[in-house]
Amino acid sequence: MSKDGHSVKIKKPVDFLVNAGKGVFMGVADVVPGVSGGTIALVMGIYDQLITTITRFDTRLLTTIRRGQFTQAGRHINLNFLLSLIPGILAGILCMSALASTLLDAPVSRQFTFAAFFGMIAISAYLVIETIKTNSSASKLQVAVFIVIGFVTALLLNQLQDPNGTPTDSEPDKLYLFICASIAICAMILPGISGSMILMLLGVYDHVVRLPKAIFNEQTQTEAILRLAIFAFGAGIGLILFSRVLKWFLTHFRNPLLALLTGVMIGALPVLTDQAFSLKPLNETSNTTTVALIGTALVAALAMFFFTRQAAALTNKKK
C-alpha cells in the first residue's frame, strides 16, 4: 500500500477480475442480514483502500473536475479500483437479492430464511461485543448504557412495522427509502455490522430485495428502476457525507458506537422471531417445525461464528 493509503494500481486484466470477484462477495454479504460487507472487505485485504477511496470524494476532487483535470481526479479517487470493484458489488447484490426475494415469497421458506437471519444477527451481536475492550468499571457501565440505548431505539423502530414484522406500507415513501439507504450504507462499511439488518429494522428490507426482480416485470419496471435509483443515490450520499463522521467516531468513541450498534442488533431480534413464526404463533406451531426453525437458527449462527473466526485468523496472518 502506498503512503496515501492506496494499494498498487490495477494494471492487468486478471487484477481487474480478482477485484471484481472481491466485489461480488461483498455484494452478496450486503444482502444477507447479519453478514457484513465491511467484514468481507477486511478479509479480502481491501478495507483500508475502500475507506480511503470513499473519503477522497471531497472538495479537492470537485476542484480538479472543475478545472478539467479528469485524469488527476481519477487518480485522486483511485478510479481503476472503483471501476473493478463496483460492478462486482452490483452483480453480487442483484444475484443475492433475486435469491432472497424468491425465498421470502413462499411462506415456509420465508420462515426458515428469517430463522437463519435470526441466528446470524444474534451471533453477530455477540461477536461485536467481543471486540469491545473495557478496562474499568466506568467503561463497562458506559458500554452497558449504550447497549440499552441501542436496544430501546431498535424496539421503538420496530413499532413502524405491523405485528408480523413486515412494513405497514408495502411501498415505502420515496423520501423514507432515501433516508433508509443513507443510514444502512454507513452500517454496511463497518466490519461486523450488517446494513441489511438495519434495513430490516427500518421495515424496508423486503421491499428493497424485491426491486431488482421487479425490473424484469413490465408492469413494475419503471417504478422499480426509479426506486432503485433513489436507493442508490441515498446510499451514495450517505457514504460520502457520513464516512468521515463514522471514521471519526470509530477513532474517538469506538466502544460507545459499537455498544450502541450491538444494542440495535439485539433489539432487531424480535422482528425476526415474528417473521419466523409469522404463519402461526409459537404455541400453535408444531413441535417438528419449531425444532427445525431453532435448528436452522443454530446452524446459521454456527456457520457465521466459524466464518468470522476463520476470517479473523486469515486477517491476522496477513498482518
**Residue 233 in contact with residue 178, Cβ under 8 Å?**
yes
Q: How far apart are CA 21 and CA 182, in angstroms?
A: 25
Residue the block writes with cell 424496508: 204
How far lies 297's CA from each of 29, 112, 114, 227, 285, in Å?
A: 17, 8, 8, 32, 16
For the segment 115-124, what is each residue's pLDDT rounded down to a tens digit?
Answer: 888 888 888 8
What secondary structure, in 3-state letters, does 19-67 show? HHHHHHHHHHHHHCCCCCHHHHHHHCCCHHHHHHHHHCCCHHHHHHHHC
Q: For residue 149, give the C-alpha cell.
A: 440505548
Length of the chain: 319
Paired residues of 167 in beta bridges: 161
Element (H, E) at 279: none
Confidence (pLDDT) at 142 = 92
Q: How far apart are CA 292 and CA 193, in angstroms?
A: 27
DSSP conformation class of 166: S
Element (H, E) at 192: none
Residue stretches of the chain with pLDDT short of 70: 1-12, 160-170, 192, 275-286, 311-312, 314-319
How far lies 251's CA from each of 69, 102, 199, 206, 254, in Å?
A: 33, 40, 25, 34, 6
For the segment 279-318, what is each residue's pLDDT rounded down to a tens digit?
Answer: 555 555 567 888 898 999 999 999 888 877 776 676 566 5
Query: What predicted TM-score, i.e. pTM, was given to this entire model?
Result: 0.73
